[in-house]
Amino acid sequence: MEPLLKARGLVKRYGKVTALDQCDFDLYPGEVLAVIGDNGAGKSSLIKALSGAVRPDEGEITLDGQPMHFNSPLEARKAGIETVYQNLALSPALSICDNMFLGREIRRPGPLGQYFRMLDRPQMRKMAREKLTELGLMTIQNIDQPVETLSGGQRQGVAVARAAAFGSRVVIMDEPTAALGVKESRRVLELILDVKRRGLPIVLISHNMPHVFEVADRIHIHRLGARLAVVDPKEISMSDAVAMMTGAMQPPTAAAA
């Protein structure tokens, strides 16, 4: 089976610092791929390259076998790659519905939308409600309430629902449970599995090893700007994964990239 999203030989330099050093990456259809690595290993640069936030200096990214050259996150989104950032990138004062459609509002049909740029709010509300219900976010009663009135878990839910609604090919989640309590973290892990069941592959960046081992099908271990290994969480222990990540242990030859 061919990877859906693939990168080969990615290089990204910031002055004298090499953030990505001939980095490879493979995401297969329908899987949850966890990306783990120590601070400064280059995980963020890899995700930014895949999501269009930075342009690599060298290397190639392909989606469904087609070479991709993203100049911005907007271009990656148009290609079907949605990212849920650690800071959620939500506008607290806007409603849930407005946040779901931020930057891709639906206009009313006919002259009102075309010339007067009026929004089709009933259609946006209907779609937002459907997407939240699909992902089991029934605790959100009012689609028009400001995002700032929601709990941390509910905000994360809105961000995930937005990504799942518009991510037609890939969803990338950057530390989705970092700022959440136990109960809300549990809900986000369930959301990840819900999105996977809908057939969307997910890239999960996380420092939380129990979460990674619970939901990931494969684990990409990132070290010193490159992929060190890809391992099966059923075949290695959490402590071994951490040891590889920190350089205390070499990966098994079969798992090495």
Most confident of 97-111, 116-130, 171-185, 218-232: 218-232
Tell me the HSE value of 108 on the side-chain side, using a 13 A CA sphere. 12
What does the alpha-carbon distance between residue 186 and residue 151 come to, in Å, rounded to a whole number?
A: 14
**pLDDT > 80? residue 14:** yes
CATH 2.60.40.1180 fits 5-93+151-246, yes or no: no
Average pLDDT over residues 14-36: 96
The pair of structure tokens assigned to 172 is 């990338």
**Alpha-carbon distances, residue 19 vs 16, 56, 87, 256 (angstroms):** 10, 10, 22, 20
What does the alpha-carbon distance between residue 124 and residue 126 come to, in Å, rounded to a whole number?
A: 5
Short-list 205, 234, 177, 229, CA closest to 24:
229
> What would the pLDDT profile of 48-104 be if each residue is shown by its tens digit?
999 999 999 999 999 999 999 999 998 999 999 999 887 767 899 999 999 999 888
Q: Which neighbouring-strand residues pair with 6? A: 26, 62
Q: Give the model's confidence band at 179: pLDDT under 50 very low, under 70 low, under 90 confident, else very high.
A: confident
Most confident of 126-140, 185-199, 207-221: 207-221
**Residue 133 pLDDT:** 81
**Residue 188 pLDDT:** 83
**pLDDT > 80? residue 148:** yes
120-139 as b/e: b if 16+ CB within 10 A: beeebbebbbebbeebebee
**Residue 230 pLDDT:** 96
Q: Give the model's confidence band at 27: pLDDT under 50 very low, under 70 low, under 90 confident, else very high.
A: very high
Mean pLDDT of the chain: 90
pTM here is 0.87
**pLDDT > 70? residue 254:** no
Sheet containing 218-223: order of strands: 81-84, 170-174, 202-205, 32-37, 218-223, 226-231
Domain coordinates of the chain in residue numbers?
Answer: 5-93+151-246, 97-145
Tell me the HSE value of 91 on the side-chain side, using a 13 A CA sphere. 11
Report which residue type is found at 249: M
